[in-house]
A and B are shown apart, each in its own frame.
Chain A
Amino acid sequence: MNDVVTGFKWVGTRPIRPDGVPKVTGRAMYGADLAMAGALVGRILRSPHAHARIRSIDTSKAAALPGVKAVITAADFPDHKFEYVGPERVAVNFWHVTRNVMAREKALYEGHAVAAVAATDAATAEEALSLIQVDYEVLPHVIDVDEAMRPDAPLLFEDMITRGVEPTPTKPSNISKRLEFQIGDLDAGFAQADFVIEKEFKTAAVHQGYIEPHATIARVDADGQAEIWASSQGHFVVRALTAKLLGMNVGDLRVTPAEIGGGFGGKTVVYLEPVAALLSKKTGRPVKITMTRDEVFKATGPTSGSSMWVKMGVTKDGKITAADGIFRFQAGAFPGSPVMNACLCAFAPYAIDNARSVGYDVVCNRPKSAAYRAPGSPISAFAVESVIDMLAKKIGMDPLELRRKNAATVGTTMIYGPKLAHGGYLETVEALLNHPAYKAPLGKNQGRGVASGYWFNGGGESSASVQINADGTVLVATGSPDIGGSRASMALMAAETFGVDYSQVRAIVADTASIGYTHVTGGSRVTFATGMAVVDTCKKLISDLRARAAMIWGVDVEGVIWEDGHAKPAGSNVGDFTPLSLKEIAGKSALTGGPLTAAASVNAGGVAPGFATQFCDVEVDPETGKVTVLRFVAAQDVGRAIHPSYVEGQIQGGVTQGIGWALNEEYIYDKQGRLDNAGFLDYRCPVASDVPMIDTVLVEVPNPAHPFGAKGVGEVNIVPPMAAIANAIENAVHRRMTELPMSPPKVRAALDNGGAD
């Protein structure tokens, strides 16, 4: 454990981002920008049906087309045993994973990959797809989670028996799993309440909406050595999954992450990479595959749509005595929705002695869900934070005061059992209570809403290596793809640790063969865990630098200290030596022992969770139902902001995504289960003109486990916005919106129907 140091020179400053120039001049190398001599174009044939048995696939005509070098189907991939391995939520059942990459017995969603070709050019590849003959037996489909749970629903897997239910059900269903978490005594808790409110909610599935579609280029040589470049948040996971799916050794596959145009969790899994690698293996040439936006919507994981029920009880002086919730989540075509996270996060900001959350993971005919920024937590928070608002109104208490009164603090028992070890939530509530705009007056059809949120954040395995060049410049390499400014923050932490100027430090992302294993960039883990690895590496080098100075001076290393970027004698008794700068020592590295380089890896623990509290002001246009966000204030406990501009950017980004989730984003299907709005024109994400300047309030309650006190910041900010906006709409026009998105037709309908709760 480290002492948390204050009074920094670099940590907390705002230098220009290192990736800025390449990005604004269009020179940054994204996945689709990579080219290789002799590369073929890969294209994927996708099911036009939401649910169909695949009776046969005839690829002969496609294979015979001049210019086509290979055609593959699932038959070309090894099959995998049906076995759930490892973490509960993530569908690491390779029987499922391989079938999502390429369909076998059935096509389970419109867009499901059924075959792939590699050809000399895009037009030939496209024509080849049209020559592949697939004999489908179209089956009835089901998409909505409530409909998928019905006993008479069409089944995606005829042998799916719900896990987590006792006694084990005899009839198959689309319910992959049931989970339950509980503390205390619900009946006693509700009996203590003066008021009990229960409500049902529904949310539509939304996509992560990254601006850069998936892209990859793969090269498998005749000796079995392979390289992949991919737009990915986790190149080590790409390596592991691709190797496993193709039956390769991990050590024979080298993956390099390209510059990435957004991921938000959606790029922590593989879609194209195993396909491109297999096509490359068969053709003996590199194969490049990029997705169109249409394919991104139809074939990559959105988050879950949901159907929820929440019941909470409160005393008239504002103590929440009990909470109960049922959360039903769409997993998509294969099991693995984030419903467990939803159950664990739903009530987490609060100290509630009697609480239960029940979750259902339900398969349905749409793309398999993938992680999306604090997966699961924003969805259950929409329901819970709406009900808390209703409780506050019932007892006539300010919604921030109600939250303050029930705030979780160090020692609060969490619904999954352990006691909370970190504070920070209360500080976010108090920051808003003291915010000048919280009491600002509002006009007609305007309202203010409050909501809070919780996210675990992550730790885990990360690696770093550092080199000191002969001219004193420092190179920091890590295994963390940069999706939110981590290169800048690694350089800041290294500069701070060495005591050298930030401009002397450059941070890069290394490929899987050049750096130790590093888990994905996601889960708000990189500044925390990879930051630790970087600082540990710098400290190893500082020991070496002291030893080099000791050798130069001819003294014991114990007599040398490191301070302000210089080796100095520990005291006058050591000798009268002029301090040596990092640059000066580096200049003599060959004389004193060789290159100055070190590496370190961590399996980071002591993670502190993220807490966020937000309020927003909206105006509802009663004629059109359009909701305009006038003001948005987001407070978050960030531990320590290493580069405050990036931290503010993360908060603004998450809030903006939450605004889209709240007001406009949804998947619209036709009667055949095909997606009607597979593009940004009709799948409406917010653009700059849709949102006000988002006011960020950084609260710093340092985490002592991190050398600079940092906590993960990327995700928790997307948890409160939907409920904050729903609560603001209720405050404005006295209509309780219980379905997302709260798009103009829905708001208009609510206004027409009259009456609120």
Chain B
Amino acid sequence: MAVTPARVVLSSGFSRRYTGGVREFEVEAKILRDVIKEMDRRYPGLGEHLEEETTVAIDGEIHEVAYYQPIRQGCEVFFIPKLEGG
């Protein structure tokens, strides 16, 4: 059975800094760790930046970046700049 990859999107500033402006990717993954590892494989060093500098929206739900977040087939994984409050 074909696996529908997740659609991974980076913010434009982040992509300019680390992926030469490429923003959208297709990644097969079951949990967020798989996404991070695959992105790091394609752009060595990117994994650490994703872990340290971003918050993630999985199908719009905002989460801290954590390995165990489940990734459904075909879902949208958006890495946005890390948010802080007061």
Query: Chain A: residues with CB nearer than 8 A to chain B?
Result: 85-90, 164, 166, 179-182, 264-266, 268, 338, 340-341, 344, 370-375, 410-411, 416-421, 455-461, 522-525, 603-607, 609, 705, 715
Alpha-carbon distance between A375 and B52 when the two chains are bound, in angstroms = 21
Alpha-carbon distance between A458 and B62 when the two chains are bound, in angstroms = 9
Alpha-carbon distance between A338 and B69 when the two chains are bound, in angstroms = 28
Asked if B64 contacts A87 (CB within 8 A), the reply is: no
Asked if A525 contacts B61 (CB within 8 A), the reply is: no
Q: How far in angstroms is the closest Cβ of chain B from A209?
A: 13
Asked if B61 contacts A460 (CB within 8 A), the reply is: no
B41: A residues at CB distance < 8 A: none
Alpha-carbon distance between A341 and B84 when the two chains are bound, in angstroms = 8
Q: A417-B11, A418-B57, A419-B76 are in contact. Are A457 and B63 (CB under 8 A)?
A: no
Asked if B82 contacts A87 (CB within 8 A), the reply is: yes
Asked if B53 contacts A86 (CB within 8 A), the reply is: yes
**Residue in B closest to A524 when the chains form the complex, CB atoms:** B85
11 residue pairs from A and B, CB less than 8 Å apart:
A90-B84, A182-B12, A370-B86, A418-B80, A421-B60, A421-B62, A457-B85, A458-B85, A459-B62, A523-B85, A605-B66
Asked if B16 contacts A375 (CB within 8 A), the reply is: no
Alpha-carbon distance between A457 and B13 when the two chains are bound, in angstroms = 23
**Residue in B closest to A605 when the chains form the complex, CB atoms:** B63
Q: How far in angstroms is the closest Cβ of chain B from A268?
A: 7
Q: Mark B62-85, 1 if CB is under 8 A from A, else 0.
A: 111010010000001010111111
Q: A418-B60, A605-B61, A605-B62 are in contact. Are A375 and B85 (CB under 8 A)?
A: yes
Asked if A523 contacts B64 (CB within 8 A), the reply is: no
Alpha-carbon distance between A371 and B16 when the two chains are bound, in angstroms = 27
Given contact pairs A416-B11, A418-B78, A421-B62, a sample of 11 additional A-B residue pairs in the complex whose CB atoms are under 8 Å apart: A86-B52, A90-B84, A338-B86, A374-B85, A375-B84, A417-B78, A419-B60, A420-B60, A421-B59, A421-B61, A458-B84
Q: How far in angstroms is the closest Cβ of chain B from A351?
A: 13
B9 on interface, CB distance cutoff 8 Å: yes
* Interface residues contributed by chain B, number (CB under 8 Å): 25
Q: How far in angstroms is the closest Cβ of chain A from B65?
A: 9
Query: Chain B: residues with CB nearer than 8 A to chain A?
Result: 9, 11-13, 16, 52-53, 57, 59-64, 66, 69, 76, 78, 80-86
Asked if A371 contacts B13 (CB within 8 A), the reply is: no
A603: B residues at CB distance < 8 A: 64, 66
Asked if A264 contacts B60 (CB within 8 A), the reply is: no
Alpha-carbon distance between A461 and B84 when the two chains are bound, in angstroms = 13
Q: How far in angstroms is the closest Cβ of chain A from B10?
A: 9
Contact residue among B53, B69, B86 (Cβ-Cβ distance under 8 Å from A523): B86
Contact residue among B13, B59, B84, B86 (Cβ-Cβ distance under 8 Å from A419): B59
Asked if A340 contacts B81 (CB within 8 A), the reply is: yes
Alpha-carbon distance between A461 and B64 when the two chains are bound, in angstroms = 9
B64: A residues at CB distance < 8 A: 459-461, 603-605
Q: A87-B81, A525-B85 are in contact. Are A606 and B52 (CB under 8 A)?
A: no
Asked if A606 contacts B63 (CB within 8 A), the reply is: yes
Alpha-carbon distance between A251 and B40 when the two chains are bound, in angstroms = 32
Asked if A605 contacts B85 (CB within 8 A), the reply is: no
Asked if B82 contacts A522 (CB within 8 A), the reply is: no
Contact residue among A181, A420, A523 (Cβ-Cβ distance under 8 Å from B84): A523
Alpha-carbon distance between A344 and B80 when the two chains are bound, in angstroms = 10
Q: A372-B86, A417-B78, A715-B86 are in contact. Are A607 and B9 (CB under 8 A)?
A: no
Asked if B85 contacts A455 (CB within 8 A), the reply is: yes
A89: B residues at CB distance < 8 A: 81-84
Asked if B13 contacts A456 (CB within 8 A), the reply is: no
Q: A421-B61, A458-B85, A606-B63 are in contact. Are A416 and B53 (CB under 8 A)?
A: no
A341: B residues at CB distance < 8 A: 83-84
Q: How far in angstroms is the closest Cβ of chain B from A348?
A: 12
Asked if B80 contacts A265 (CB within 8 A), the reply is: no
Asked if B13 contacts A179 (CB within 8 A), the reply is: yes
Asked if B86 contacts A371 (CB within 8 A), the reply is: yes
Contact residue among B12, B63, B86 (Cβ-Cβ distance under 8 Å from A459): B63
A372: B residues at CB distance < 8 A: 86
Alpha-carbon distance between A418 and B9 when the two chains are bound, in angstroms = 9
A340: B residues at CB distance < 8 A: 81
Alpha-carbon distance between A152 and B53 when the two chains are bound, in angstroms = 34
A264: B residues at CB distance < 8 A: 86
A420: B residues at CB distance < 8 A: 60
Q: How far in angstroms is the closest Cβ of chain A from B12?
A: 7
**Residue in B closest to A460 when the chains form the complex, CB atoms:** B64
Contact residue among B52, B66, B69, B84 (Cβ-Cβ distance under 8 Å from A371): B84
Alpha-carbon distance between A664 and B80 when the two chains are bound, in angstroms = 36
B57, B82, B84: residue with the most chain A Cβ atoms closer than 10 Å: B84
A411: B residues at CB distance < 8 A: 60
Alpha-carbon distance between A13 and B78 when the two chains are bound, in angstroms = 38
Alpha-carbon distance between A338 and B86 when the two chains are bound, in angstroms = 10
Alpha-carbon distance between A264 and B85 when the two chains are bound, in angstroms = 10
B66: A residues at CB distance < 8 A: 603, 605
Q: How far in angstroms is the closest Cβ of chain B from A205?
A: 14
**Residue in A closest to B76 when the chains form the complex, CB atoms:** A418
A607: B residues at CB distance < 8 A: 61-63
**Residue in A closest to B81 when the chains form the complex, CB atoms:** A88
Alpha-carbon distance between A90 and B61 when the two chains are bound, in angstroms = 23
Q: How far in angstroms is the closest Cβ of chain B from A539?
A: 19
Alpha-carbon distance between A461 and B81 when the two chains are bound, in angstroms = 18
Q: Top 10 closest A-B pairs, CB basis?
A: A265-B86, A523-B85, A371-B86, A605-B63, A421-B60, A418-B57, A87-B82, A418-B78, A419-B60, A421-B61
**Residue in B closest to A301 when the chains form the complex, CB atoms:** B86
Q: How far in angstroms is the closest Cβ of chain B from A187?
A: 18
B63: A residues at CB distance < 8 A: 459, 605-607
Alpha-carbon distance between A253 and B85 when the two chains are bound, in angstroms = 25
Q: A86-B52, A418-B78 are in contact. Are A606 and B84 (CB under 8 A)?
A: no
B62: A residues at CB distance < 8 A: 418, 421, 456, 459, 605-607, 609
